[in-house]
Structure formats: C-alpha cells, structure tokens
C-alpha cells in the first residue's frame, strides 16, 4: 500500500474519502452540505464514536467520528480499530484507492489511523489464485503530517508486513536453513547490520545441548543466527540482547500434540521473527540503540533419533536438564541462546517466545505475559510504552520459590513442571537460570497468531510485539546509561 501526502481538493476528488472528525469545535469547518452536517452532528450527540457513510456516487465519504478527549492511548487504539473496520468495508466495495482528511485531529491520531489501515490491509495471499481487493493507493491531506514522520512509520509498518509473511509461511517452504538464509539476505540490505549464521557443526562444537536435542528428530539441520546493529551514536554502552524462539514447526516431538493443537504450529518461530524484525526496524530508522539478536532455529519432530522424556541433556553452559516433556522444547533452544548471549556480557536480555499454552489460558489473546528479574527500570519503561501503543504487558510474579517446581532428582533441572501449576511462570524461571544479567521474559503465545480476524491485526500472524519493542528502543535513553564502556 502506497501512502502519499498531498493537498486534497474536495471538489476534484475522484475517489472515496475518509474524513476523521475529532471534536465538536471542528463542526464549523466540516466541508459538507448543511443537511449532511446536521445528520453527522445528530449522530455525534447520540454517540461520539460512530461512522457515517455518505453516498457521493460513484464514491462514498466515510465520516469517522471519534472522541479526542479520551486518554491518548485509548483514542489512538480506537482509531486503529476504526481504520480496520473501514478497510474491510472498502474491500467489500472493491475500492483500491482512498483519500483521508479531517478536522479536529492531531498528527499522532492520524498516524494511529494510518497504522490501523496499513495493518488491516495486509493479506498473506501468495498461494491464492483469487485475491481480495485491497488498498493500493492512499492520499493523506498533507497538512496533517510531516513527510519524515510518515516515512519513518512506513518503514516500521512494512517491517511488520515482512514479519507477518515469515510467520505465515508454512514450514514446507521455510525451514531453519532457509530462514537463516533469508535473515542473512535481509541484513545485507540494511546499513549497519551484520549477520553471523552458525551451522550444524558449529552448534555441535559449541555443545548447545538443548538446540541439538530438539533438532535430533528433524530431517533439516539446525541454525543459530546472531544479528548485530551497533550505531556510532548509541545510548547504551553494552548491547541489549534480543533472544527469540525459532521453532519452525512444533509437532510436540515424541510427546506429540493432538490435532487441535498441531494446527498453526508454523507460528512457533514468531519469537525469532519478532526479535529479528525489531533489530531490523531499529536499524532502518537509525535508532541510537546497540542491539544484538540471538536466534536458535530448528523444528521439533518425532522422527529419526528424536529426543525423549527421561533423557538428560548437557546445555551450552554446562547445566544438566532432565526431559519430562518433549513438547516443552522452546525453552531448551532458548536456554542455549540465552546462555550464549549472557557470555557476551549484555546490558539487558529480553526474550520473546510463543512458549506456553498456560499463558493463553490465563490471559487470553490481548496481552503479553511478562516477567522480569533485576530489570525494574527497563521493565517499567516497556510497560509504559506498551500501554501507549496498546501492545500491553500482563506482569506476572517471578519469585524464586517457583524454582522448587523445576527441581530434578537426577539432573540440575527438569525442563517442564510435571504439575499444572504456574506453567507460564515456571517456564520463565527455567530460562532465568541461564543468565546472571538483567532479564525480561515475554511469552507471546496468546498474541502472535490469530485463528480469526482480530481488528487491525487481521487473521494469521499478527506482528504483535514489534510496535512495543520499537517504542521501547525509541525511548530507551530515558532510563539512563548502563554498563561499562
């Protein structure tokens, strides 16, 4: 979708128009007929948030009324969702071009509306013969936005599109070696990004026992990808380590999933895709943060010499882990990656993973289950920006007492709590064992992939979490400098 800024002349429009109406003071400036204004105003008195559709054959005017007096985060989220609803209407009308203007609207509100429109317009339809009509051209009244602001946001939104493409792609076309190649190809396009891909033999040399074990049932080799973006004007003197779960497809291994739980498991690499995309987005917009992403990639299959319950693994850092469930594989590959990142002395480690069904059962599909240890300031900032962009955190307790549920009689740890208690928290506590640095754990199982359309996130891969991390990087300097030169 191409978005451009132009001066809109209402009398010469040859396309449908979306008109955003933000406050009552703007009524005198509405560019409509007297009877249309009267109707719009009567609807607004009944309900401040409503959509009026005016027929101007062969096109339409969509007057989206909203309440600009709401807290900014609520008003902007409602605008994103309103944009998604209008986009669906335009699709039904088979309209591929639209103009956008308004009264009583500030730049941040226009950005929110365009964000919702762009994200709702996304389709993963490369395998369909018959494709839906989507928006290809959007013209925005240029008085509402600076070109630089629009371009920065467009780069972010396009990055979200790529992220969603990766997560939506089936494993038959996107296995671990191919994804590593794509990440390397993408890194070459972006100034300041380096990419290191470790193959099977290098992973074996490093003795990454978790990643190697999960990979044992697969026909495809594992990969371990390290991305780095280190700008000269960085505000942090040590890197922020971004660790992402890259299980390209999860059958559950020998603890094989039932059919209902097997569907959508191509999305089990959303954590790795999100963390790679977060680093790429920061680099594309030259944010002054030093980032490194650590991405362990494999699928989890029950074939060949697959690892089994009761196995004891030797992890990268020397920890031994007794396997109690082969479907708790994500934490095994993440543990090796976290330990590897820990050895490079980062300022902060953040991981993202579609890790536990328990997170979905506890919190639903609207928030990220989040935990932290020794990272109060960055966690607080992440929570603040999450509320602002409406990709919110649900902080969970992270007490050391939960470690009791991970004790083994024959090894240092078990990989999965045998009881149904605190499944999301104990998964996080397992991962915390592998770092001594400030740590934030994000379980995105409930938000990474939607089986039915969810507002502007659409259906399938959502891209949820990238706007959160990007806003965090944008404001990271507010928590002060950390680490050593």
Region 247-258 average pLDDT = 97
pLDDT in tens, 46-74: 999 999 999 987 889 999 999 999 999 99
Which two tokens mark 43?
């609807």
Flag whether pLDDT at 479 surpasses 90: no
Q: What are phi and psi of 224, to 5 degrees?
A: -130, 115
Confidence of residue 483 (pLDDT cuts 50, 70, 90): very low
Ordered alpha helix ranges (H), 232-269: 259-262
Which two tokens mark 405?
């549920």
Region 13-36 average pLDDT = 83
Flag whether pLDDT at 480 surpasses 70: no
Asked whether the beta carbons of 104 and 44 are under 8 A apart, the reply is no
**Distance (Å, rounded) from C-alpha 429 to C-alpha 371?**
9
pLDDT at 94: 94
Flag whether pLDDT at 190 surpasses 80: yes
Confidence of residue 28 (pLDDT cuts 50, 70, 90): low
For the chain, domain boundaries: 2-145, 161-479
Region 395-419 average pLDDT = 96
Please report which helix (H) or strand (E) contains residue 110, including its range.
helix 107-121
Region 386-413 average pLDDT = 98
**Distance (Å, rounded) from C-alpha 54 to C-alpha 56?**
6
Flag whether pLDDT at 481 surpasses 60: no
pLDDT in tens, 314-347: 999 999 999 999 999 999 999 999 999 999 999 9
Of 18, 6, 87, 26, nearest to 53 by C-alpha is 18
For the chain, report the end-to-end CA distance as a whole number of angstroms.
43
pLDDT in tens, 355-377: 999 999 999 999 999 999 999 99
Region 243-256 average pLDDT = 98
CATH topology for the 161-479 domain: Aminopeptidase (3.40.630)
- Chain center to CA of 382: 14
Question: What are the strands of the beta sheet with 50-56, ordered from one edge?
Answer: 2-6, 137-141, 97-103, 16-21, 59-65, 50-56
Confidence of residue 29 (pLDDT cuts 50, 70, 90): low
pLDDT in tens, 92-138: 999 999 999 998 899 999 999 999 999 999 999 999 999 999 999 99
- Report, as residue numbers or ranges, the catalytic residues: 257, 331
What is the three-state SS of 227-261? EEECCCCCCCCCCEEEEECEEEEECCCCCCCCHHH
pLDDT at 124: 97
CATH topology for the 2-145 domain: 3.40.220
Confidence of residue 485 (pLDDT cuts 50, 70, 90): very low
476 Cβ contact list (under 8 Å, min separation 6): 235, 236, 240, 289, 378, 381
Q: How many CB atoms sit inside 10 A of residue 165's CB?
A: 18
Asked whether the beta carbons of 119 and 87 are under 8 A apart, the reply is no
Which two tokens mark 371?
């935990």
pLDDT at 51: 96
* Ranges 5-9, 27-31, 431-435: which has the least confidence: 27-31
Q: What are phi and psi of 469, to 5 degrees?
A: -65, -40
pLDDT at 26: 61
Region 173-179 average pLDDT = 98
Flag whether pLDDT at 382 surpasses 60: yes
The overall average pLDDT reported for the chain is 95
DSSP-derived 3-state class of residue 34: helix
DSSP β-ladder status, 137-141 and 97-103:
parallel
DSSP secondary structure of 410-458? SSSEESS-SSSSSHHHHHHHHHHTT--S-EEEEE-TTTSEEEEEEGGGE
Confidence of residue 34 (pLDDT cuts 50, 70, 90): confident
pLDDT at 27: 63
């Amino acid at each position: 979708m191409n978005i451009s800024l132009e001066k809109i002349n209402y009398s010469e429009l040859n396309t449908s128009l979306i008109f955003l109406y933000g406050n009552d003071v703007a009524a005198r400036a509405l560019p409509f007929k007297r009877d249309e204004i009267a109707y719009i105003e009567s609807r607004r008195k009944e309900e401040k948030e409503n959509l009026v559709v005016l027929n101007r054959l062969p096109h339409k005017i969509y007057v989206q009324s909203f309440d600009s007096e709401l807290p900014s985060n609520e008003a902007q989220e409602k605008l994103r969702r309103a944009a998604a609803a209008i986009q669906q209407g335009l699709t039904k009308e088979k309209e591929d071009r639209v103009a956008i203007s308004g009264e009583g609207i500030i730049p941040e509100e226009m950005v929110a509306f365009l964000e919702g429109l762009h994200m709702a317009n996304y389709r993963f339809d490369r395998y369909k013969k018959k494709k839906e009509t989507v928006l290809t051209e959007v013209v925005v009244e240029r008085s509402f936005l600076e070109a630089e602001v629009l371009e920065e946001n467009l780069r972010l939104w396009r990055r979200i599109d790529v992220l969603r493409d990766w997560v939506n792609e089936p494993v038959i076309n996107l296995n671990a070696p191919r994804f590593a190649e794509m990440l390397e190809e993408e890194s070459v396009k972006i100034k300041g990004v380096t990419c290191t891909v470790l193959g099977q033999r290098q992973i074996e040399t490093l003795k990454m026992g978790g990643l190697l074990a999960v990979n044992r049932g697969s026909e495809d080799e594992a990969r371990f990808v390290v991305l780095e973006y280190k700008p000269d004007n960085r505000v942090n003197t040590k890197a922020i380590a971004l660790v992402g779960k890259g299980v390209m497809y999860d059958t559950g291994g020998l603890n094989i999933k039932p059919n209902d739980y097997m569907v959508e498991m191509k999305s089990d690499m959303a954590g790795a895709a999100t963390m790679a995309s977060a680093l790429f987005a920061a680099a594309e917009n030259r944010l002054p943060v030093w980032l490194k992403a650590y991405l362990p990639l494999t699928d989890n299959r029950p074939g060949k010499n697959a690892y089994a319950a009761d196995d004891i693994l030797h992890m990268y850092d020397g920890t031994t882990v007794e396997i109690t469930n082969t479907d708790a594989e994500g934490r095994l590959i993440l543990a090796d990656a976290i330990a590897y990142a820990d050895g490079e002395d980062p300022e902060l480690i953040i991981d993202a993973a579609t890790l536990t069904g328990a997170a979905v059962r506890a919190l639903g599909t609207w928030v990220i289950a989040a935990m932290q240890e020794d990272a109060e300031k960055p966690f607080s900032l992440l929570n603040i920006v999450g509320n602002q962009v409406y990709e919110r955190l649900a902080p969970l307790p992270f007490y050391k007492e939960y470690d009791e549920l991970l004790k083994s009689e024959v090894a240092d740890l078990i990989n999965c709590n045998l009881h149904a208690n605190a499944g999301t928290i104990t998964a996080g506590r397992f991962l915390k064992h592998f770092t001594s640095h400030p740590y934030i754990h994000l379980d995105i199982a409930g938000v990474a992939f939607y089986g039915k359309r969810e507002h502007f996130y659409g259906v399938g891969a959502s891209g949820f979490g990238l706007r959160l991390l990007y806003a965090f990087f944008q404001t990271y300097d507010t928590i002060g400098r950390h680490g050593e030169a």
